[in-house]
Amino acid sequence: MTSDETRIAYTLRLADNALVLAQRMVEMVAAEPELEEELANANFALDYIGQARMLYTHAGQLEGKGRSEDDFAFVRDEHEFRNLLLLEQPNGHFGDALVRQFLFETWYLHLLDGLIACSERGLSEIAARAIKEVKYHSRHSSQWLVRLGDGTELSHERVQASLDDAWRYTGEMFAADEIDVAFQREFDGPDLAAIHKLWRRDVEKTVAEATLRLPDDDWMLSGGKQGRHSEHLGFLLAEMQYLQRSFPGATW
């Protein structure tokens, strides 16, 4: 793998994470339990769409084959997407979606912090922009975890189940494969083992504050980063890509 191939692949993973998560969040628009959450969710989803756009554009420029942000988002197939499995899982109920945000954003915040310091200039600049938004998102998801965990007996039980369910998808965030290793070596990229420790520390702290129990690290699912997805991604893409697939090149 050349160093250009490494940074393109690495950038596309970040972009796919942002886009797939944004699409899941967009599915919740007009279905939030209260107006305040409606606004928070829609605005946060916009941040992720914005990040995805910058990342795809950057990947397209590095690649130099004239692929646009829309080409990456709308005409690639399922196996070409490299997002984490956690992010493509259906929203479930409010607590499920919230736990997904919490686990991902706690990780993403440390990853972005590492990317700011990397030597790939485009990614470093995008990360510096994005971290300001994700800090804010992460505060929101942590606060909600505490509110639900330390809420009523019912909310506690349900959000504990959400946490137990989502846990098996977290291993993939820290499993460094050849792209992660090459990006770290060649571009001074983030160290996933170090991030795992920071993530664990932050998650433990909030989970304890929420009076919840940390699930055991047993069997972890993986494959999203390599393009092997759960059955849910295909449906998500079918809906998201419908228009561009039916009317290629349509604009308005």
**Residue 199 corresponds to which tokens in the numbers above?**
């993530």
Q: Which residues contact 15 (CB under 8 A, 6 or more apart)?
A: 51, 52, 55, 56, 59, 72
Q: Please select the residue that binds other proteins; options are 16, 24, 48, 69, rule is CB under 8 A.
A: 48
Distance between CA atoms of residues 17 and 1, nearest Å? 22
Please report, as residue ranges, which positions from 21 to 40 form the binding site for other proteins (by CB under 8 A).
Answer: 36-37, 39-40
75, 241 Cβ separation under 8 angstroms: yes
**Comparison of 128 and 250: residue with beta carbon closer to other proteins:** 128
Please report, as residue ranges, which positions from 111 to 130 form the binding site for other proteins (by CB under 8 A).
Answer: 125-126, 128-130
**Residue 202 corresponds to which tokens in the numbers above?**
């932050």
Residue that the structure tokens 């295909």 belong to: 234
192, 180 Cβ separation under 8 angstroms: yes
Could you tell me the smallest distance in angstroms from the CB atom of residue 214 to other proteins? 27
Could you tell me the smallest distance in angstroms from the CB atom of residue 215 to other proteins? 29
Q: Please select the residue that binds other proteins; options are 75, 92, 136, 244, rule is CB under 8 A.
A: 136
Is residue 133 involved in binding other proteins (CB under 8 A)?
Answer: yes
Distance between CA atoms of residues 139 and 136, nearest Å? 5
Could you tell me the smallest distance in angstroms from the CB atom of residue 58 to other proteins? 10
List Cβ<8 Å contacts ≥24 apart for 65-70.
70/244
**Comparison of 36 and 153: residue with beta carbon closer to other proteins:** 36
Distance between CA atoms of residues 6 and 107, nearest Å? 21
**Comparison of 79 and 132: residue with beta carbon closer to other proteins:** 132
**Comparison of 129 and 232: residue with beta carbon closer to other proteins:** 129
Is residue 43 involved in binding other proteins (CB under 8 A)?
Answer: yes
Q: Which residues bind other proteins (CB under 8 A)?
A: 36-37, 39-40, 43-51, 53-54, 125-126, 128-130, 132-133, 136, 140
